[in-house]
A and B are shown apart, each in its own frame.
Chain A
Amino acid sequence: MTNEEMMDKLRTIVKPYVKNEEGFARMTEESDLLKDLRINSANLVDVILDIENEFNIIIDNESMEKMLTVRSAMDIINTKLSEQ
């Protein structure tokens, strides 16, 4: 999967939880899920569960701790996919 394909999938996943539409329109790998996209922290777990379902992976608690930016989400997905 290319970075661009993964970005597209992530855009679709985070969209329902985003509170800052401007931040979403400008979403890049650098975007902070909480500060830039203003996803409610109680919804961050929905993003994580949706990622697990979409990519068919399990995100353990250690990985979840780092899930604060789009880049860290992509890194975690890539690591989990390569372990399969």
Chain B
Amino acid sequence: MTGNDIVDLSAAAVESNWRRPGYLEKLFSPEEIDLILSNKDPDKTLWRIWTMKESAYKLHIRMFGGRSFAPQKITCTLTDEQQGEVQFRDNRYLTQTSQNQHYIHTVAFNRADRSPSFSSCCFELPLVNTGTQNSFIKEKLTSHYSRASGTHLSNLSLRKDIAGIPFLYCYFERKSIPVSITHHGRYAAFTIH
């Protein structure tokens, strides 16, 4: 299974003032704050670490349940430009980050999953209302899976379980495929397992 998270960098610059007093200390460990402030691009480092925390948290919730807002307990180490590790409540997750000038996107997977088989896709959203954007994401995800698996679109339905966690349901095979969806500002992404 996977969890994923995207940050639209220009939306984040408008929505979040991480320089306000007390902000960093509530979200990050002292080691993470050092990494952020010592980097020549603190914004990108901050949002990379944030997407690592969020994607690992989503994966954790999917496996164990139990919502909380404890970003400080989700601790991150950066292995290289793309790879990282996240520790949360006795569990370790690996992360893979991709970024460009517009967004930062991270996928988290299980540490035991050495060669995780997932497909992931990032894309720009049309400038329309939230409802239409949600339909756009839904259509993009189902057509992506339909093409990749050779399954007809009419066999697929994107659903949510009681906890609000999305999955793709195949009517014919009666099987559920875990998916993770993320959306921020003008960008969205998903992973399919």
Cβ contacts B37-55/A at 8 Å (1 or 0 each):
0000000000000100010
Interface status of A15 (Cβ within 8 A of chain B): no
User: Does the CB pair A42–B70 fall under 8 Å?
Assistant: no
Q: How far is the CB of A14 from chain B (nearest CB, A)?
A: 14
Residues of A26-56 whose CB lies within 8 A of B:
35, 40-46, 48-49, 52
Query: Could you say which residues of chain B place their CB within 8 Å of the CB of A52?
Result: 22
User: Does the CB pair A42–B67 fall under 8 Å?
Assistant: no
Say yes or no: A45-B15 contact (C-beta < 8 A), given A61-B70, A64-B69: no
Cα A49 to Cα B17 in complex, Å, equals 12
Q: Which residue of A lies closest to B53 (CB)?
A: A41
Cα A65 to Cα B68 in complex, Å, equals 5
* Contact among A49, A61, A65, A66 with B23 in the assembled complex (CB-CB below 8 Å): A49
Residues of B1-55 whose CB lies within 8 A of A:
7, 12, 15-17, 20, 22-23, 26-27, 50, 54
Number of A-B contacts (CB under 8 A): 47
User: Does the CB pair A35–B15 fall under 8 Å?
Assistant: no
Q: How far is the CB of B51 from chain A (nearest CB, A)?
A: 10
Q: How far is the CB of A50 from chain B (nearest CB, A)?
A: 10
Q: Give the residue among B7, B17, B68, B184 with the most A Cβ atoms within 10 A.
A: B68
Interface status of A68 (Cβ within 8 A of chain B): yes
Query: Could you say which residues of chain A place their CB within 8 Å of the CB of B16?
Result: 42-43, 46
Interface status of A70 (Cβ within 8 A of chain B): no
* Contact among A17, A64, A68 with B67 in the assembled complex (CB-CB below 8 Å): A68
Cα A35 to Cα B27 in complex, Å, equals 20
